[in-house]
Amino acid sequence: MRVWVPGCATGEEVYSLAICILETLGSSQSKMRIQIFGTDLSESVIGHARAGIYPSAIEKDVSRSRLKRFFIKRDGSYQIHRNVRDICTFARQNITADPPFSRLD
């Protein structure tokens, strides 16, 4: 499964899609290769997205079970778990000039 999120900013939508896909597939996820691409024009927001670190304020919007399953608490912030980050690739891209991704679901 290949998914592309153009204009991904700091990665919240990319990681939300990854979490939804992983939850939906459950134990079947090992049978499918999942690649989620997030692109943005800004290299600085792409760096933030790659790190996958968000403030503790996400506790208001993310359920406890998801925080426990998909995040690691670090010094007053939350980082997306490595197994989620591993299926997400972030890159700088100008969608008005660069070619789009191909072979997407």
- Coil, helix or strand at residue 54: strand
- Identify the pLDDT of residue 104: 82
Q: For the segment 23-47, what is each residue's pLDDT rounded down to a tens digit?
A: 999 877 677 899 999 999 999 999 9
Residue 12 neighbours by CB under 8 Å, 6+ apart: 54
35 C-beta neighbours (distance < 10 Å), count: 15
Task: Identify the weakest region by mean pLDDT among 26-30, 33-37, 55-59, 96-100.
Answer: 26-30
Q: Tokens representing 21?
A: 């896909």
Asked if residues 71 and 63 have their Cβ atoms less than 8 Å apart, the reply is no
Report field, pTM of the whole predicted structure over 0.75 = yes
Q: Taking CA 16 as the corner, what is the angle to CA 15 and CA 21, rounded to the nearest 5 degrees?
A: 95
- pLDDT, mean of residues 6-32: 90
